[in-house]
Amino acid sequence: MKGTALLPLALVALLAALPASAEAQGWKDKLKAKAREKLEQAGDKAVDKATGAATEAKAEEPPAETEAAKPAAPARTSAASVEQSGEAAPASKPGEGAWANFDFVPGSRPLYVDDFSRDVVGDFPRRMEFKAGALEIIEWSKGRWLRASEDSRFYLQLPEVLPERWTMEFDYSIPTSGEVWISFGPDENKRVEFGGYGWAEVYNHATKITASGRYDAKHDADRVFRARVMADGRYVKVYVNDKRVLNVPNADLERSNRILFYTDATVSKPSLFGNFSVMAGGKKLYEALAESGRVATQGILFDTGSDRIRPESTPTLKEIARMLEEHADLELLIEGHTDDVGQAAANQTLSEQRAVAVKAALVESFGVSADRLTAAGFGASKPAGKNDTAEGRQMNRRVELVKK
């Protein structure tokens, strides 16, 4: 796959000039293979010696004959997997460190959420569409992953066409010389790309847009990244872990009811994907609050079974604080809600603790006056969706703001 940020300039120019036709594909594949070989010679040896590059088919068993295929453990637990993983949050709090400049806000309505917890290990995910390659679910690092062991294609199937505003998140680990192309409509020449070194690219052949960015090089050895894409009309922002790496006002990606993933992989250097979340964007918090008197947010995240707020929550907390600053007469009831997994009494207590934690964060870290906020928890007693689907449970794990 084309990685403009890494390939030699001559190869990049030639790749860009190739037409998107069957006749050109063979030549393009050859150029890609040559480019990949150069990258492997330049970078794979050094990085793989330190970190490895594949995963375990079971918790303790490697998938290939060589241990060199094993990736480093995830640097962070992803937002989408927090409720299942049980892993602790990073040391930083909302508004601190790199997260202080983090501005990704997930959409308000789940379209596709999947951590493969209801699939069978060794199978292809039931909710995805297989297109080509070798793909199966494996267990690794307290979770389940979709492993590609050769160049592969698969679709996320959505219940509706992507709206004007949407977000997507997923975890990935791919070979250092590999890539994943993601297209959101029939034209694969309009896409977002992620590379094994933590780089990303937005590419639109029609408008001749090519924008590349990269995560801090010192984190290359992490090898497992959280990818995030936030789209609003033609505008697209792309994030790797806690860093916004691309800000493209005219990306002009397509919209359809399925998303294509096309990834590089081999048996000894597989690609891994997990914890998918595609969300429909909503109105700004104050607009929704003024319209209906309450608004639910999916942007405040907690550790599993805990009231500890994760640093990815920074943008949503900032928006709440800014809303209160701009509307001096506004007072809020902060409601905590959970899904129905676990005991009802424990969920009730947890929802109360989380609501109190949100109030405390707004007061202590964002300067909101405590007398303008009230906190209450409702456990699983007021579901926003059905608890028998991943999307429904995601809707139910929420913080709601109610105008007093």
Q: Residue 271's domain spans which residues? A: 51-280
pLDDT tens digits, residue range 248-288?
999 999 999 999 999 999 999 999 999 999 999 978 899 98
Q: Which of 91-105, 150-164, 232-246, 384-398 has the lowest mean pLDDT?
A: 91-105
Asked if 281 and 107 touch (Cβ cutoff 8 Å), the reply is: yes
User: What's the pLDDT at 93?
Assistant: 81
216 versus 60: the higher-pLDDT residue is 216
The region that residue 50 occupies, defined by phi over 0 for left and psi between -120 and 50 for alpha, beta otherwise, is: alpha
**Mean pLDDT, residues 235-253 taken together:** 95
For position 196, what pLDDT does the model report?
A: 86
Q: Is the pLDDT of residue 296 over 70?
A: yes
Q: What is the rounded CA–CA span in Å between residue 31 and residue 40?
A: 14
Q: Are residues 320 and 301 in the same domain?
A: yes
Q: How many angstroms separate the CA atoms of 171 and 276, rounded?
A: 7
Write the burial class of residue 302 (CB in 10 Å: 0-12 exposed, 13-18 middle, 19+ buried).
Answer: buried
Closest to 338 (Cα-Cα) out of 396, 389, 273, 284? 396
Distance CA 107, CA 110 (A): 7
Same domain? For 169 and 225 the reply is: yes
Task: Name the helix (H) or strand (E) containing 287.
Answer: helix 285-292
| Residue 254 CA: distances (Å) to CA of 153, 166, 191, 384 | 18, 12, 8, 30
Q: Per the domain annotation, does 19 fall within a domain?
A: no
Residue 226 lies in a domain: yes
What is residue 218's predicted lDDT score, i.e. its pLDDT?
65
Query: Looking at residue 222, what DSSP letter applies?
Result: G
Residues with Cβ within 8 Å of 354's Cβ and at least 6 positions away in sequence, in order, are 302, 307, 336, 377, 399
Instruction: Please tell me which residue, 283 or 147, carries the higher pLDDT value.
Output: 147
- DSSP letter (8 states) at residue 68: G
For residue 211, the surrounding DSSP H or E stretch is strand 209-214
332 or 176: which leads in pLDDT: 332
Please enumerate in sequence order all residues whose Cβ is within 8 A of that of 353, keeping only pairs 6 or more positions apart, or say none: 307, 336, 377
Q: CA 396 to CA 109: how far, in whole Å?
A: 11
Taking all residues of the chain, what is their mean pLDDT, rounded to a whole number?
81
What is d(CA 299, CA 367) in angstroms, rounded to the nearest whole number?
19
In this structure, the answer to whether residues 303 and 162 fall within a common structural domain is no
Q: Quick check: is 40 in a domain?
A: no
Provide the pLDDT confidence category of residue 1 given band limits of 50, 70 and 90. Answer: low
| Spatial distance between the Cα atoms of 278 and 276, rounded to a whole number of angstroms | 7
Q: What is the pLDDT of residue 142?
A: 80
> Using one digit for the tens of pLDDT, what is the confidence trace for 38-72?
444 444 433 343 333 333 333 333 344 333 345 54
User: Considering the domain boundaries, does residue 16 fall inside one?
Assistant: no
User: Residue 36: inside a domain, yes or no?
Assistant: no
Q: What is the mean pLDDT of residues 135-143?
A: 92
Q: Which of 218, 247, 280 is the last residue of a domain?
A: 280
For position 217, what pLDDT does the model report?
63
Look at residue 222 and tell me whether its pLDDT is greater than 80: no
Beta strand 398-403 with 165-173 is unpaired
End-of-domain residue from the set 280, 308, 324: 280
Degrees to nearest 5, angle at CA 195 with 269 and 101: 135
Residue of 318 and 78 predicted with greater confidence: 318
Q: Which residue has the higher pLDDT, 35 or 336?
A: 336
d(CA 108, CA 267): 38
Q: How many CB atoms lie within 10 A of CB 123?
A: 11
The tokens describing 374, both together, are 């009230």
Q: List Cβ neighbours of 146 (8 Å cut-off, separation of 6 or more).
A: 116, 125, 128, 135, 136, 137, 154, 272, 273, 274
Q: For 340-352, what is each residue's pLDDT tens digit?
A: 999 999 999 999 9
Residues 309 and 242 placed together within one structural domain of the fold: no
339 and 260 within one domain: no
3-state secondary structure 293-355: CEEEECCCCECCCCCCECHHHHHHHHHHHHHHHHCCCCCEEEEEECCCCCCHHHHHHHHHHHH
* Assigned token pair, 125: 């995910």
pLDDT band for position 221 (cuts 50, 70, 90): low
Q: Per DSSP, what are the bridge partners of residue 334?
A: 375, 401
Asked, for residue 27, whether it belongs to a domain, the answer is no
* Range of weakest confidence among 75-79, 106-110, 288-292: 75-79
Tell me if 32 is assigned to some domain.
Answer: no
Does residue 244 share a domain with residue 390? no
pLDDT in tens, 299-350: 999 998 899 999 999 999 999 999 999 999 999 999 999 999 999 999 999 9
pLDDT given for residue 68 in this prediction: 38
Per-residue tokens: 179: 């890539």
Q: What is the spatial distance between Cα 304 and Cα 226, in angstroms, rounded to a whole number?
A: 18
Rounded-to-integer distance, Cα 217 and Cα 59, Å: 29
Instruction: Say if 44 falls within a structural domain.
Output: no
pLDDT for 243 beyond 80:
yes
Query: Are 345 and 215 contained in the same domain?
Result: no
Domain co-membership, 345 together with 198: no
Q: Are residue 220 and residue 238 in the same domain, yes or no?
A: yes
Confidence band (pLDDT; 50, 70, 90) for 368?
very high
32, 221 Cβ separation under 8 angstroms: no
- Using CA atoms, how far apart are residues 312 and 92, in angstroms rounded to an integer? 10
* Structural domains of the chain, count: 2
Helix/strand/coil for 391: helix
**Same domain as 92, residue 187:** yes
Considering the chain, what percentage of its residues have pLDDT values greater than 70?
A: 76
CATH code for the domain in which residue 95 is found: 2.60.120.560
pLDDT at 230 over 70: yes
Q: Quick one: which of 304, 330, 341 has its CA closest to 85?
A: 304
Choosing from 261, 280, 299, the residue where a domain stops is 280
CATH number at residue 316: 3.30.1330.60
- Both 87 and 194 in one domain: the answer is yes
- The residue type at 60: E
> Would you call 50 helix, strand, or coil by DSSP?
helix
Shared domain for 146 and 258, answered yes or no, is yes
163 touches 177 (CB < 8 A): no
